[in-house]
Amino acid sequence: MDRTIEIYRDNCILSYDGKKEYFSCGNSSGAGKHVCLKLSDVLALKVHVKAGTLKPYLVLHYVVEGNGKVLRTKSCIITGEADQHLRLKDAVDAILNSFHRPKRLVVFINPNSGHRKGVNIFHNAVKPLFELCDISLRCIKTERPGQPKELLEKYDLRLMDGLVAIGGDGMFSECMNGLLLRLQKDAQVDYNNPDAPLSASTLPIGIIPAGSGNMLVQYLHGTIDVETSVIKIILGDHLLSNAVSVHQGRKLSSYAGLILEFGLVGEMMKDCEKFRWLGPKRYNIVPLGTILKRKSVNVEVEFIPEEPQKVKAIHKSRTFARQMSLPASRLQFQKRVLRLNSTPDFAEDQKCWLKKTGKVYGVDSYVVTQKEKDGNRNLVPFFGDSALHVWLTDKCSLSSHVSQLSLLKELKPCWDFKFIREIRCRGYRVKLPCSPFYKDDCGDKKLKKPLYINCDGEALRVDYPEFDVRLHRNAVPVFGKVG
């Protein structure tokens, strides 16, 4: 029987058995097995030549869902005549091109993340899949902290459809910082001013888990499976994620894309850094010591409360535009993304600031917030929330505090405690009125003893008795879909 091969109209790729009764995809494991695929699950269609006979055949590579939200690749052989192959290949390639999947990626590998497997992961699990899908890669193995930021400062962004960080949350954060800072410079944004609207990125960032902390990947894909992360990047879907900026001493200290925890958790990260030689195990051991010596600190937290009405109005007035750093041609790849004045004009809102004061163990905020799903106690991540979720941990017994932190670690609701005060806001300022300070040569007040913020898994030093945090909505697209 002659096998002709066709693209069927309902978005399935199929081989036609010649009887017009059913459509099937020739399968290497045996004839007659019918595979129905959505074209959006197709990764690539490759022409191969059978050794000896020189007869060409096609191999279709596609995605299937496995258990526990994991994605896997599968392939099947499609037989037929050479002219049919050509027709099918052209048709499939045209369809795949119309999906605007990334074609050129810059990959930053942190070889020292987690169990130091980043380079192996790249060669064994990442590169082969990207190559299969004809994605050209510029691969940079980092040699020191700060390198992605340095490279991105000058990198020709026209040469990429996205960034990929192989490492942990810290590596993602560093790439995001490098990209956002570069874009602020290009757009001449006064990034040292906490109230300056952020120029958002239209270049997506992907993350492939290889670190000790892979929370962002877990949030995004519901699994920290490497192959799933690679497939999600290839498929090109992305969601808009918020970021926050941290300013102190009239300067931008950092952006964060995941978490910002001042006080106890910041101290934990600083203590963990001293035990880096222990590897990822340090995160299980060292925090116990930090919590035993926990200290509260007097704070004044001034914040701009969430105002749903107002936030909605601001969204309407946003315009659509292109990444300033990208030439028009590259934008074929970009989905239309909001060109944000991602921060509402805070200066206008000075009157709206509210204040909470007290002695606290921490002022913590999630950039990716968590919402309870369907009334049950399981939390689902929310990347584009209209406000920051901030909580103050007041003085409490050690046992209650440990219970609360354990819930937090297990990603369970942990705010139903009397000593937790919650705020939803668009930005806040932490003042440390009772922390000893001195005046430096410029007359600026500086803390005698630095305090720390856990900024996306890295310890960020607080040197000034005041710092500012601002939410920037939809600041950066991230490859993947929640779920």
Ligand X SMILES: Nc1ncnc2c1ncn2[C@@H]1O[C@H](COP(=O)(O)OP(=O)(O)OP(=O)(O)O)[C@@H](O)[C@H]1O
| Contact residues for ligand X, defined by CB under 6 A | 110-114, 142-145, 167-171, 174, 211-213, 457-458
Output the smallest distance, CB 120 to ligand X, in A: 15
Closer Cβ to ligand X, 285 or 321, answer by number: 285
264/472 Cα distance (integer angstroms)? 25
Distance in Å, CB of 305 to ligand X, minimum: 32
Q: CB 417 → ligand X: shortest distance, Å?
A: 28
Between CA 444 and CA 454, with CA 448 as vertex, the angle to 5 degrees is: 95
Separation CA 76–CA 64 (nearest Å): 12
Nearer to ligand X, 169 or 468 (CB): 169
Query: Is 285 or 398 the residue whose CB approaches ligand X more closely?
Result: 285
CA distances to 24, 43, 98, 298, 450 from 74, in Å: 16, 10, 22, 57, 53
Question: How far, in Å, are 91, 432, 443 from residue 170 at the CA level?
Answer: 41, 27, 33
Comparison of 112 and 184: residue with beta carbon closer to ligand X:
112
Nearer Cβ to ligand X (207/425): 207
Closest to ligand X by CB, 280 or 305: 280
Sign of the dihedral defined by the CA atoms of residues 449, 451, 457, 458, in that order: negative
Give the nearer residue to ligand X in terms of CB position, either 287 or 344.
287
For ligand X, the closer of residues 114 and 427 by Cβ is 114
Report the residue number, 283 or 353, with the smaller CB distance to ligand X. Answer: 283
Nearest distance in Å: CB 15, ligand X:
44
Contact 45, 57 (CB under 8 A): no
Residue closer to ligand X, measured from CB, 215 or 360: 215
CB 148 to ligand X: min, Å:
7
Q: Is residue 389 a contact partner of residue 422, using CB atoms and an 8 Å limit?
A: yes
The CB-of-139 to ligand X minimum distance in angstroms stands at 14
Please, which residues have CB within 8 angstroms of residue 453's CB and are 6 or more apart in sequence? 246, 260, 261, 262, 266, 459, 460, 462, 467
How many Cβ atoms sit within 10 Å of the Cβ of residue 280? 14
Q: Name the closest residue to ligand X (Cβ).
A: 168
Tokens of 366: 């999630």
Contact by Cβ (8 Å): 465, 436: no
Q: In angstroms, give the least distance from the CB of 176 to ligand X.
A: 11
For 95, residues 6+ apart whose C-beta sits below 8 A from its C-beta are: 7, 39, 42
For residue 228, the minimal CB distance to ligand X (Å) is 18
Residue 168 vs 236, nearer CB to ligand X: 168
Backbone angles phi, psi at 95, to 5 degrees: -65, -45
All residues at 6 or more sequence positions from 39 whose CB lies less than 8 Å from its CB, including other chains:
11, 12, 13, 92, 95, 96
Q: How far is the CB of 69 from ligand X (least distance, A)?
A: 21
Q: CB 188 → ligand X: shortest distance, Å?
A: 26
Residue 273 Cβ, how far from ligand X at the closest point, in Å?
A: 7
CB of 130 to ligand X, least distance (A): 19
Q: State which residue, 80 or 213, has the beta carbon closest to ligand X.
A: 213
